[in-house]
Amino acid sequence: MEFIVVQFLTGLASAASLFLVASGLSIIFGVTRIVNFAHGAFYMLGAYVAYTLTERFEGFFGFWGGIVAAALVVAAVGALLEIVLLRRIYRAPELFQLLATFGVTLMVQDLVVMIWGPEDLVGPRAPGLRGAVDILGLAVPTYDLFLIVLGPLVLGGLWILFHRTRWGVLVRAATQDRDMVAALGVNQTWLFTSVFALGIFLAGLGGALQIPRNAVTHLMDLSIIVEVFVVVVIGGLGSVLGAFIAAVLVSELNAFGILIFPKISIVLVFLVMACVLIVRPWGLLGRPEGPARQPAGLSIRPWQPMSQNQRLVMLAVVVAAGFAPFVTGDYALTVLAEIAVFALFAASLHFLMTVGGLASFGHAAYFGLGAYGAAFATTMFGMPMIGSLLLGPLLGVAGAILFGWFCVRLSGVYFAMLTLAFAQIAWSVAFQWVEVTGGDNGILGVWPASWAASPAAFYWLALAVSVAGIVALRVLVFSPFGYALRATRDSALRSEAIGIDRSRVQWAAFVIAGTFAGIAGALFAFLKGSVFPDNLAIPMSVDGLVMVLLGGIETVSGAVVGAIVYKALAIWLVSQTDLSKLVLGAIIVLLVVAFPKGIVGFAEDLLARRRAKADDGGAAARTTPAKAPAKAPAATSGSGAAPIAAPKMEAAR
């Protein structure tokens, strides 16, 4: 009994920091409509800066002053980020905003290691709160009790700020109707900046307050951001009180879950989240979103199947790729095989994201499930490689059938967050279920059959499967089903009115995308000879998103080009620099801000413009858009992400 009480108090103390960070995210989303992926990075920065300050200035004022100063420093950095980056992308689709802030997260990860080093840092205890209080015979740290009181105090303070100050009234008005507030003459620009700074202040404070309890590590950003996503989704995006309730709920689930179900403690939280979303898709205290902004992938230029000439060019490209083993060495072939695998993975995500308008932030789940499926088939059931390649993806299919059923009930940001949550569930099962999956050690010994063991043979296999998959996906885009899927993306209202069952079509698309991702995953398992939980972790999902974006979100098959360029670049970067995340993050940010249509989209724009200049309807044979090597920062800066800005073009023949 006593133990339960103490465990409950520990849960409440953990809830305080979680609430601070989550309320910051919620406030920022409420006004700016940006889901700030970098929020965890600011939480981490808060902890690191607080560590440095409290180490330097000791004593009572040194510690508490250091905590507050750290939060203020981080808030200033946040305001700078808002001014430099976010102002340019407020009108962009949600996906771009999530990606840009993810890019910032990547950069911060490398910067933090650069400044503070890779080791975990242990901060000082809080002066005046070092001891413990005796509760029911068990010692509870005084600092925990302080945190338990702090949570409700901050909640009350925020309430007063939002309901009793002029600034707060403006913020609430902007939350309801940004355009109206602007029309009433309020300077929105600085309102947004101040709201963002406040949200980041709360994140930094949450991080700084953690240092007496936990070590400061450079991995704390991703772990908190996932928890914070869960909190705001359960509580309702934009609701501070909802964030408080959900933070307590999640922290208690964690505190007791570890006692009652140690095996599935991580899963438990996500299960609760999935349940809440099914009953209340907008969270406990959230409000239904208005009509969604323009979905990702909507192109003003109607798609067309390839002409005969384009097909011949593509065939030539594939045949040329088939000759690679005669001109390169083994290492290059392994890299090329990996690129082929990721081209298929990216194409499968692209199908869901561009054709279906469903931006999945957890697509790696199906890739990883396919990989684990293949590994199980090989190591547990002793299947030959072909059998494993056929059966393995079925695990991905099963995952997509199950998760997809829930996900397609939502749209926009909530869809993205739920897919992310399901991917985390899959990841935690792989991570925690050590008896079956080997946990962190993964499954080794997934080697290809002898006929495919040489790098050249495996490369040909990967190339063949990948090309077949990409062609199949392209056929799907132009099939009646592909049109139905695009229809549900373009207008849910019209689709329902002409007899299309939106959720069934999208569910089917989800399963199709999961199937091809699973096939790619199974190939990947044999390529590496092993599988690890990393294969279905968030960074893998984000890799997929970046490939799609890099290739061009409005194009039919840009993802393939994106995968080739991104993967080659990433492998090259890792070999060239220790700061690969910094560079990669910067590239992502640059892409979103300056180059939102991607390589293929940009090339198509150029072609369209040239054709418009030529200005005769019977334009001659098209050159292939896919191969044009576009140089990066050409597009105009600013918020160009809105597809509406695309130059108009006749769908002439």
Please give the residue ranges that form the binding site for other proteins (CB under 8 A): 298-305, 475-476, 478-484, 486-487, 489-491, 493-494, 496-501, 505, 648-653
Whole-Å CA distances, 467 to 339, 460, 461, 546, 652: 12, 10, 10, 20, 29
Complex with other proteins: residue 313 or 487, whichever CB lies closer: 487
SS percent in the chain: helix, strand, coil, step 5:
75, 0, 25
Q: Where do runs of H (alpha helix) occur along 302-363?
A: 308-322, 330-350
Report how far residue 222's alpha carbon sits from residue 40's, in angstroms, rounded to the nearest whole number. 6
Burial 177-187 (b: 16+ CB within 10 A, else e): ebeebeeeeee
Complex with other proteins: residue 488 or 535, whichever CB lies closer: 488
Closest C-alpha to 88, from 22, 32, 40 = 32
- In DSSP notation, 32-87 reads H----TTHHHHHHHHHHHHHHHHHHS-HHHHHHHHHHHHHHHHHHHHHHHHHHTGG
CB of 647 to other proteins, least distance (A): 11
CB of 364 to other proteins, least distance (A): 25
CB of 297 to other proteins, least distance (A): 8
Closest C-alpha to 610, from 600, 594, 622, 597 = 622
Complex with other proteins: residue 269 or 512, whichever CB lies closer: 512
583 token code pair:
């560079």
Judging by beta carbons within 10 Å of its beta carbon (0-12, 13-18, 19+), is residue 494 exposed, middle or buried?
Answer: exposed
Residue 638 region by backbone torsions, left for phi larger than 0, else alpha for psi between -120 and 50, else beta: left
CB of 479 to other proteins, least distance (A): 5
Complex with other proteins: residue 137 or 302, whichever CB lies closer: 302
- In DSSP notation, 600-629 reads HHHHHHHHHHHHHHH--SS--PPPPSTT--
Complex with other proteins: residue 291 or 329, whichever CB lies closer: 291
CB of 624 to other proteins, least distance (A): 19
Complex with other proteins: residue 187 or 479, whichever CB lies closer: 479
Q: Is 442 helix (H, G, I), strand (E, B) or coil?
A: coil
Report how far residue 406's alpha carbon sits from residue 417's, in angstroms, rounded to the nearest whole number. 12
CB of 505 to other proteins, least distance (A): 8
Report how far residue 226's alpha carbon sits from residue 242's, in angstroms, rounded to the nearest whole number. 17
Beta bridge partners of 162: none
Q: Say what the alpha-carbon torsion angle 59, 63, 66, 67 is, to the nearest 10 degrees.
A: -170
CB of 356 to other proteins, least distance (A): 12
Complex with other proteins: residue 104 or 553, whichever CB lies closer: 553
Report how far residue 229's alpha carbon sits from residue 37's, in angstroms, rounded to the nearest whole number. 9
Complex with other proteins: residue 44 or 508, whichever CB lies closer: 508
Complex with other proteins: residue 445 or 499, whichever CB lies closer: 499
The contacts of residue 137 (CB under 8 Å, 6+ apart) are 2
Q: What is the largest CA-CA distance in the chain?
A: 88
Complex with other proteins: residue 363 or 502, whichever CB lies closer: 502
Q: Is 529 helix (H, G, I), strand (E, B) or coil?
A: coil
CB of 476 to other proteins, least distance (A): 6
Complex with other proteins: residue 162 or 516, whichever CB lies closer: 516
CB of 652 to other proteins, least distance (A): 7
CB of 480 to other proteins, least distance (A): 4
Report how far residue 635's alpha carbon sits from residue 532's, in angstroms, rounded to the nearest whole number. 39
CB of 561 to other proteins, least distance (A): 20
CB of 651 to other proteins, least distance (A): 5
Complex with other proteins: residue 423 or 517, whichever CB lies closer: 517
CB of 215 to other proteins, least distance (A): 50
Complex with other proteins: residue 585 or 601, whichever CB lies closer: 601
Question: What do you get for the CA distance between the two ends of the chain, in Å?
Answer: 78
The contacts of residue 437 (CB under 8 Å, 6+ apart) are 372, 429, 430, 431, 443, 533
